[in-house]
């Protein structure tokens, strides 16, 4: 059955830029149903991804959060405390993945890291690297190393021109210096336990290249020119939402990009979709299937749960077996080798 590409969301949470773009594109839900034996229901909550707010020292071109220095949304201490309580009660949730904005600018960031590490959980900091050079952040690299925080740092290219084009003039030099600071503390080096992964996303409306080959190129270039080492490279696809979607719309390329994503649908990526094993929490405590749905205000299916906010529920397990809410932007996760916060989903 063919239908308009918008589906599975309430009117107030519709991804408006994609509605009716191309009626010939099969809905994501239909495509998954016809291609996979895996139902799109959550299997577990291995990872709790927490978006602590939209405040950032940068305003990057492809940021799906539309974060920037002028945003004011920030997670409160009350919400942060409830997250730690739920984490303590949910033994299956092994990882607290903290994102933003620039998450380190939230006044509760360090407290959350300390609490989650004391509970024995892995903590991921999704770091833009340039935040190290903001006032009051001088000791941040040392703090991350002391608590063995897994740093996942965005670096959309290994050349200054491409990085500065996406993230602002001068950001490449600061990012390189940030990586060197992390390396000096042992990040990315064998036997230190300090993991440093990098994130690549395309500089436009195209799919990422093969992850393994690009990782080799990054390692070679960064080592040769800057003496930088890191663990793994994650390739991410730009999802057609918010700032990126708006820029495609303005240049008349949104339909073409949706056809690229849907035309490269890869059923082998479906079992690895991150929404099947994580929950995403917004700065105000609402619960979503992933950070992308969060930005589209598509709240999680709560038919198995006692509420839509972490202030209402008893346990993260209430969302195990819940149906995943999908729409056309989900094609970004299943195109080609697939895409997730941990990189490609299939070789
Ligand atoms: S955007 Fe990706 S991770 Fe989010 S619900 Fe869709 S398929 Fe799942």
pLDDT digits (tens, 9 = 90+) for 195-223: 999 999 998 899 999 999 999 999 999 99
* Count of domains forming the chain: 1
The per-residue DSSP string of 20-79 comes to: TS-TTSPPHHHHHHHH-SS-SB-----EEEEE-BSB-S---TT-TT--BTT---B--HHH
Q: Within 10 A of 113 (CB to CB), how many other CB atoms are there?
A: 23
Query: Residue 123: inside a domain, yes or no?
Result: yes
- Number of the ligand 1 atom closest to the C-alpha atom of 334: 7
- What is the structure's pLDDT at 338? 97
Domain that holds residue 184: 38-334
Query: Residue 20: inside a domain, yes or no?
Result: no
Q: Which amino acid residue places its CA nearest to atom 8 of ligand 1?
A: 275
Give me the percent of the chain exceeding a pLDDT of 70.
89
Distance CA 301, CA 313 (A): 13
Distance CA 172, CA 163 (A): 6
Percent helix, strand and coil across the chain, each to the nearest 5: 40, 15, 50
Query: Residue 162: inside a domain, yes or no?
Result: yes
Q: Which residues line ligand 1 (CB under 6 A)?
A: 273-275, 289-290, 292-293, 324, 326, 329-330, 333
Q: Find the 159 Cα to ligand 1 centroid distance in Å.
A: 30
Q: Find the 204 Cα to ligand 1 centroid distance in Å.
A: 20
Quick one: which of 175, 169, 188, 178 has its CA closest to 140?
A: 178
Give the Å distances, CA to CA, from 108 to 99, 116, 159, 176, 259.
13, 12, 34, 27, 41
- Number of the ligand 1 atom closest to the C-alpha atom of 324: 5
Q: Which amino acid residue places its CA nearest to atom 4 of ligand 1?
A: 290
pLDDT beyond 60 at 193:
yes
Q: Find the 227 Cα to ligand 1 centroid distance in Å.
A: 36
Q: Find the 97 Cα to ligand 1 centroid distance in Å.
A: 16
Q: Find the 251 Cα to ligand 1 centroid distance in Å.
A: 25
pLDDT beyond 60 at 331:
yes
Q: Find the 335 Cα to ligand 1 centroid distance in Å.
A: 12
Query: Residue 1: inside a domain, yes or no?
Result: no
- Is the pLDDT higher at 24 or at 167? 167
Between vectors from CA 306 to CA 94 and to CA 292, what angle results, nearest 5°?
55
Q: What is the pLDDT of residues 126-145, one digit of tens each?
A: 999 999 999 999 999 999 99
- Is the pLDDT higher at 32 or at 158? 32
Q: Find the 96 Cα to ligand 1 centroid distance in Å.
A: 18
Q: Find the 271 Cα to ligand 1 centroid distance in Å.
A: 12
Give the Å distances, CA to CA, from 38 to 41, 110, 231, 268.
8, 38, 31, 10
Q: What is the pLDDT of residues 289-322, one digit of tens each?
A: 999 999 899 999 888 888 899 999 999 999 999 9
Query: Residue 347: inside a domain, yes or no?
Result: no
Quick one: which of 133, 231, 229, 140 has its CA closest to 180?
A: 229
Q: What is the pLDDT of residues 34-79, one digit of tens each?
A: 887 667 999 999 999 999 997 787 765 565 666 667 777 789 999 9
Strand 278-281 and strand 287-288: pairing? antiparallel
Query: Residue 6: inside a domain, yes or no?
Result: no
- Number of the ligand 1 atom closest to the C-alpha atom of 276: 8
Query: Residue 18: inside a domain, yes or no?
Result: no
Give me the percent of the chain exceeding a pLDDT of 90.
70
Ligand 1 binding pocket mutation candidate from 51, 274, 282, 344 (most atoms within 8 A of CB): 274
Give the Å distances, CA to CA, from 191 to 38, 44, 230, 233.
38, 30, 13, 19
If you count DSSP H runs as helices and E runs as strands, how many of each does the chain have, helices first? 11, 8
Taking each helix axis from N to C terminus, what angle separates 254-263 and 242-250, rounded to the nearest 10 degrees? 120
Distance CA 138, CA 143 (A): 10
Residues 6+ apart with CB under 8 A from 111: 77, 80
Query: Residue 33: inside a domain, yes or no?
Result: no
- Is the pLDDT higher at 204 or at 113? 113
pLDDT beyond 80 at 6:
no
- What is the structure's pLDDT at 336? 96
pLDDT beyond 50 at 271:
yes
Ligand 1 binding pocket mutation candidate from 273, 325, 344 (most atoms within 8 A of CB): 273
Q: What is the pLDDT of residues 153-177, one digit of tens each?
A: 999 888 887 777 777 777 889 999 9
pTM of the predicted model, to two decimals?
0.89
| Range 185-190 average pLDDT | 97
Dihedral sign from CA coordinates of 264, 336, 61, 68:
positive
Check which CATH number belongs to the domain holding 71 and give it: 3.20.20.70
Phi-psi region of 191 (alpha: psi -120 to 50; beta: other; left: phi over 0): left
């Amino acid at each position: 059955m063919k239908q308009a590409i918008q589906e599975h969301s309430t009117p107030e949470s519709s991804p408006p830029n994609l509605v009716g773009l191309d009626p010939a594109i099969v809905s994501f839900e239909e495509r998954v149903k016809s291609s996979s034996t895996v139902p799109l229901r959550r299997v577990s909550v291995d990872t709790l991804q927490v978006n602590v707010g939209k405040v950032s020292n940068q305003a990057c071109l492809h940021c799906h959060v539309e974060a920037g220095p002028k945003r004011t949304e920030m997670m409160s201490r009350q919400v942060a405390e409830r997250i730690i309580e739920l984490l303590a009660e949910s033994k299956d949730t092994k990882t607290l993945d903290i994102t933003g904005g620039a998450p380190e600018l939230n006044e509760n960031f360090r407290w959350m890291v300390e609490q989650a590490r004391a509970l024995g959980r892995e903590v991921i900091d999704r770091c833009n690297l340039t935040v190290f050079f903001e006032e009051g952040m001088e000791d941040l690299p040392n703090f991350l190393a002391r608590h063995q925080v897994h740093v996942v740092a965005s670096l959309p290219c290994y050349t200054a021109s491409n990085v500065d084009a996406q993230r602002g003039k001068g950001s490449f030099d600061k990012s390189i210096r940030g990586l060197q600071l992390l390396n000096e503390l042992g990040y990315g080096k064998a036997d230190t336990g300090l993991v440093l992964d990098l994130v690549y996303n395309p500089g436009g409306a195209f799919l990422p290249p093969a992850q393994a080959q690009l990782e080799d190129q990054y390692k070679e270039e960064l080592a040769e020119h800057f003496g930088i080492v890191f663990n793994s490279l994650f390739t991410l696809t730009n999802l057609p939402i918010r700032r990126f979607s708006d820029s495609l719309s303005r240049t008349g390329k949104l339909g073409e990009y949706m056809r690229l994503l849907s035309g490269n649908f890869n059923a082998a990526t479906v079992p690895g979709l991150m929404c099947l094993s994580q929950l995403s929490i917004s700065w105000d405590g609402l619960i979503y299937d992933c950070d992308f749905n969060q930005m589209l205000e598509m709240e999680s299916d709560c038919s198995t749960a006692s509420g839509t906010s972490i202030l209402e529920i008893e346990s993260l397990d209430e969302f195990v077996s819940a149906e995943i809410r999908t729409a056309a932007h989900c094609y970004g996760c299943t195109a080609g080798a697939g895409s997730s916060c941990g990189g490609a989903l299939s070789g």
